[in-house]
């Protein structure tokens, strides 16, 4: 099957935004204009705009039409990696957690070597920044903590939950790399296939160099960037 007409129209409108033809705040063509330009039905034109709304690219004002949304890019400081929520709050961004999976699983061999357990709680969640999907978080949590704090972990960030309960991270190992959206992440983050993504892989340790959480955050490159301050001393 070929690409649906509404998806083709959405992509063309998105390309115009990327090229600067449509800037933040600009009004998009009306449904009638889209119907005429692309020779499609009203339903198809409406769905094309709905696609862009779901991706956080367009806002619709009742009685006025569709407008290009401002694309705020938020920054997370690696100098304080445990304070993601505080970082976002300072930038006027609210984080919402949407848990997709939370279950006890047999962990892959590489995770076994890091956490020193054969089973762990596996969590996959989407983080929404001001209601727009910005990050997919995939985490393994040692079973004793995952079981006790399951309900909190389903609704908040993992390290935030643990610190709230007096379990403090003494060390955090992290690696940052780049990737592109595949079928699954493109759907979860509402971006096209091949969209640039940032992968932040991390392991949290408590006192005694004991690893308790291992995972990775896969973020939209157009929504999130990382910063760090380095002092000679």
Clarify whether residues 79 and 64 are in a common domain.
no
Question: Is 207 part of a structural domain of the chain?
Answer: yes
Clarify whether residues 17 and 121 are in a common domain.
no
pLDDT in tens, the chain (233 residues): 678 999 999 999 988 988 889 988 899 999 999 999 999 999 999 999 988 887 768 877 778 889 887 666 788 888 776 777 877 888 888 889 999 999 999 999 999 999 999 999 999 999 988 777 889 999 999 999 999 999 999 999 999 999 999 999 999 999 999 999 999 998 898 777 788 899 999 999 999 999 999 999 999 887 788 888 777 76
Q: CA-CA distances (angstroms) from residue 196 to 54, 99, 100, 163, 189?
A: 18, 23, 22, 32, 11
11 membership: H or E segment, kind and range? helix 5-19
Q: Which two tokens stand for residue 215?
A: 């995972």
Q: Tell me which of 17, 39, 68 is where a domain ends.
A: 68
Domain range spanning residue 188?
74-227
Q: Tell me which of 19, 50, 68 is where a domain ends.
A: 68
Q: Tell me which of 14, 36, 68 is where a domain ends.
A: 68
Residue 55: CATH number of its domain = 1.10.10.10
Question: Is 232 part of a structural domain of the chain?
Answer: no
């Amino acid at each position: 099957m070929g690409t649906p007409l509404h998806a083709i129209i959405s992509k063309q409108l998105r390309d115009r935004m990327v090229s600067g033809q449509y800037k933040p705040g600009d009004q998009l063509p009306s449904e009638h204009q889209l119907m005429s330009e692309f020779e499609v039905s009203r339903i198809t034109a409406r769905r094309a705009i709905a696609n862009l709304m779901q991706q956080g690219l367009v806002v619709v004002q009742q009685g006025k039409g569709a407008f290009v949304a401002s694309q705020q890019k938020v920054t997370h400081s690696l100098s304080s990696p445990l304070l993601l929520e505080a970082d976002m709050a300072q930038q006027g961004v609210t984080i919402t957690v949407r848990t997709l999976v939370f279950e006890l699983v047999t962990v892959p061999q590489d995770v076994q070597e890091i956490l020193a357990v054969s089973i762990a709680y596996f969590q996959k969640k989407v983080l929404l920044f001001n209601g727009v999907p910005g990050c997919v978080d995939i985490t393994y949590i040692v079973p004793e903590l995952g079981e006790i704090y399951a309900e909190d972990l389903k609704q908040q960030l993992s390290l935030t939950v643990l610190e709230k309960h007096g379990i403090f991270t003494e060390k955090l190992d992290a690696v940052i790399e780049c990737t592109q959206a595949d079928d699954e992440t493109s759907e979860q983050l509402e971006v096209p296939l091949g969209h640039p993504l940032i992968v932040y892989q991390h392991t949290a340790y408590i006192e005694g160099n004991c690893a308790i959480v291992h995972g990775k955050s896969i973020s939209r490159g157009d929504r999130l960037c990382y910063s760090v301050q380095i002092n000679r001393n």
